[in-house]
Amino acid sequence: MGKILDNNYYDMIINNFMVPNFGSGDDITLLNGYFSLLHVSKKNKDLCDLGVNPYHFFPSIYTLTSIIGRHNAPSLRFVQQVPDLNLSGQGTIIGIVDTGISYQHPAFLNRDKTTKIISIWDQTIQSGTSPQGFTFGTEYTRAAINNALSSSDPSLEVPTEDLIGHGTAVASIIAGSQSNEPPFQGIVPSAEIAVVKLKDAKQNLKMLYAIPDDRLCYQESDIILGIRYLVILAQKLKRPLVICLALGTSQGGHDGKGVLSRYIDDLVQIPEIGIVTSAGNEGNNGRHHFNSVVSLPYTRDFQLNVGQGETKFAMEIWPQTPGQLSIEVTSPNMEKVPQTDPSFSECTKYQFQQSESILWINNMTFEQQSGDQLILLRFENPLPGTWNIHLRSTENDRFSFHAWLPSGNLISESTFFLSPDPDTTITSPGNTRNAFTVTAYNQQTGNILNESSRGYTRSGLIKPEVASPGYSITCAVPNGQYATLTGTSASAAQAAGAMAILFEWTEGKGNFTSITGEQANKLLIRSAQRSPSYHYPNNIWGYGILDVYNLINRLYEFL
């Protein structure tokens, strides 16, 4: 088993210029042109390994950003807005980096019962041939999938499955084939699909971030590898590529400075590569707190409610530069952790005497990727009830800060801040400067979904770009069934279909020279619907509601 799969090795992200210092072979896995993974032996299970090694060396953890529901009456389909444009994604590739795909589903078959899928890289299956240039997982080509579909038992020939259903749902909303019963059709049914099924995050990474072992989540480095696989495939075939990233994380500074964000920013400068990201569903779950202090005594308290049965979780506090803060923590039974001051690498473990609670504190005066201070708290067996967090300026000066709890399923709904702030809750990579970040609204009522994350980024970038339908969107799910998807994964899928239409109109129809993903973003922004009731851009709707019909009409005016 390679070190990239071995739980006895950490996967640490390093700059490529550092690679010669550490050797090569199985110790190094290339991520992209800037970064690689260094596989480092994990000699013991100690949360203070994060402290000895910089925070940004470890991949962030990502969760899914929509919920699959039961089937009901089909939603208003985005494709119905553009029936007269003769645009269905012909010639484009839809890239999915997610939970996999149920390739036997009718939504992914052509009329002749052959597959619409170009290839699948299943990172979880190690028994077959890995893609060229990659060291793990199994690649299933179109030929292999078609052979399986014509066999008596396709699962024996191509055993990849989507056990969760999220990737299947997202792919079908974008490019699913037409169905009469139930009535269904993807946005761009003539597009083809390429899929990366992500492997689960390593247990040692979950341990470092205080994530329960049984939680479904994925690591940043595998997502980056998945994107690289899709880009290589599209460039080999010389076809436009739209990647839909319907995952997110609340880790990091929410400023678009992470390794994945940097990769996305570079890729969308390349002609015919577009990347659409979901905004996240963290708007109304109480997992963000913001506060500021402008007068003496330059301290601030805020409270965290920990739910019954919460076994472990992490919390990040990001003071705004130039503030430097110390921290004290008081448990629900009033046992207090002594003041912890900023340091460069110190990690403090505190074992509570009156309960089984354990708290790890990294008060990093200089988080190397952002240059800001980061206070990382990791709780094990936390006592249920209200925890008090006391912050004090070490320089006796005014300050402000953000605090975030984990996204998605990593904590329960009963753990939240008592004074939450719904703003600045866009999950990464939605905070990436040049990603096309999409929030969700209820197309039946015209209102934003309460759970939709809100901008702006911590650094003030305008996010999201647009809103798109995201309530009970009809989709394919495993076992040949149809259901609905609600959340920003569904809205991102709608927008990915719109971007594929744009690429087909420009490149496929020869109406325009090749455009980059960043240029596509701006064209979609400029054509968005804007209500006279709002000022734009704003942190809820971005620049308005996605409207590809208006976009294409505007483009035809300039021909």
Summarised one tens digit per residue, pLDDT across range 437-470 is 999 999 999 999 999 999 999 999 999 999 999 9
Of 396, 417, 438, the last residue of a domain is 417
Is 551 part of any domain?
Answer: no
List of residues 6+ apart from 334 with CB closer than 8 A: none
What is the structure's pLDDT at 45? 63
Q: Are residues 394 and 411 in the same domain?
A: yes
Evaluate if residue 83 carries a pLDDT over 80. Answer: no
Query: For residue 361, is it within any domain?
Result: yes
Q: How far apart are CA 426 and CA 424, in angstroms?
A: 6
Domain-embedded: residue 467? yes
Among candidate residues 357, 387, 417, the one where a domain is terminated? 417
* 494-510: average pLDDT: 90
Q: List, in sequence order, every beta strand (DSSP E) within 84-220.
A: 93-98, 117-122, 138-141, 192-197, 218-219
Distance separating alpha carbons of residues 495 and 439, to the nearest angstrom: 10
> Do both 97 and 143 map to the same domain?
yes
Return the beta strands (E) in 198-354 as ranges.
218-219, 241-245, 247-248, 273-278, 288-293, 299-306, 312-319, 325-330, 336-340, 348-351
Are 197 and 75 contained in the same domain?
yes
The answer to whether residue 408 scores a pLDDT higher than 50 is yes
Residue 428's pLDDT is what?
A: 98
- Under 8 Å between Cβ of 4 and 11: yes
CA distance 334 to 475: 49
What confidence score (pLDDT) does residue 115 get? 98
The answer to the question of residue 126 being in a domain is yes
**What pLDDT is stored for residue 517 in this prediction?**
97
pLDDT average, residue stretch 312-324:
95
At 122, phi and psi to the nearest 5?
-95, 105
Closest CA to 176 of 546, 506, 396, 481: 481
Answer yes or no: do 341 and 275 share one domain. Answer: no
Cβ-based neighbour number of residue 298 at 10 Å: 18
444 with 389, same domain: the answer is no
Instruction: Please report, for residues 61, 186, 313, 412, the alpha-carbon distance to residue 283 in angstroms, rounded to integers and kept in the order given.
Output: 19, 28, 19, 15
Give yes or no for residue 187 having a pLDDT over 90: yes
pLDDT classification of 197: cutoffs 50, 70, 90: very high
Rg (CA), the chain: 23
Instruction: Give yes or no: residues 402 and 462 share one domain.
Output: no
In this prediction, residue 548 carries a pLDDT of 86
pLDDT of res. 85: 66
**Helix-then-strand count for the chain, H and E:** 10, 29
Higher-confidence residue of 25 and 154: namely 154
Predicted confidence (pLDDT) per residue in 203-255, tens digit: 999 999 999 999 999 999 999 999 999 999 999 999 999 999 999 999 999 99
CATH number, residue 399: 2.60.120.1290
Average the pLDDT over 529-548 and give the result. 96
* Residue 57 belongs to some domain of the structure: no
Residue indicated by tokens 């920990």: 306
Is 132 in the same domain as 276? Answer: yes
- Which residues does 47 contact at the CB level (< 8 Å), separation at least 6? 207, 208, 210, 347, 349, 360, 378
Residue 73 has pLDDT above 60, yes or no: no
Q: Give, for 69, the enclosing helix (H) or strand (E).
A: strand 66-69
Q: Does 234 map to a domain?
A: no
Q: Is 249 helix (H, G, I), strand (E, B) or coil?
A: strand
| pLDDT over 90, % of the chain | 84
**CA 196, 491, 370, 397 torsion-angle sign:** negative
Average pLDDT (48-66) is 89
**Domain annotation covers residue 130:** yes
pLDDT on residue 76 = 39
Distance between CA atoms of residues 229 and 348, nearest Å:
40
| Tokens found for residue 328 | 């004290």
Identity at 113, one-letter amino acid code: K
- Same-domain status, 247 and 100: yes
Place of tokens 């079908």: 172
380 forms bridges with which residues in the sheet? 312, 358
Amino acid at 289: H
Task: Let me know whether 252 and 401 are in one domain.
Answer: no
Q: What is the pLDDT of residues 142-160, one digit of tens each?
A: 999 999 999 999 999 999 9
Number of domains in the chain: 2
38 in a domain, yes or no? Answer: no
| CATH number of the domain encompassing residue 114 | 3.40.50.200
100 token code pair: 């996999």
Of 1-5, 31-35, 555-559, minimum mean pLDDT range: 555-559
pLDDT mean over 76-87: 51
Give the residue numbers spanning the domain of 83: 69-202+240-283+428-523
Q: Write the DSSP string, 383-424.
A: PSEEEEEEEEETTSS-EEEEEEPPPGGGS-TT-EESS---SS
E strand or H helix that includes residue 222:
helix 220-237
- In this structure, the answer to whether residues 180 and 273 fall within a common structural domain is yes
Pick the closest to residue 311 from 379, 376, 407, 361 (CA basis): 379
What is residue 488's predicted lDDT score, i.e. its pLDDT? 97
Q: Are 400 and 292 in contact (CB under 8 A)?
A: yes
Q: What is the pLDDT, as a whole number, of residue 182?
A: 86
Do 357 and 377 lie in a common domain? yes
Find tokens 């019954």 and name the residue: 308
Residue with tokens 């990502």: 62
**Is there a single domain that holds both residue 104 and residue 170?**
yes
pLDDT confidence bin for 558, thresholds 50/70/90: low
Higher pLDDT, 345 or 254: 254
- Give dist(CA 389, CA 439) in Å, integer: 31
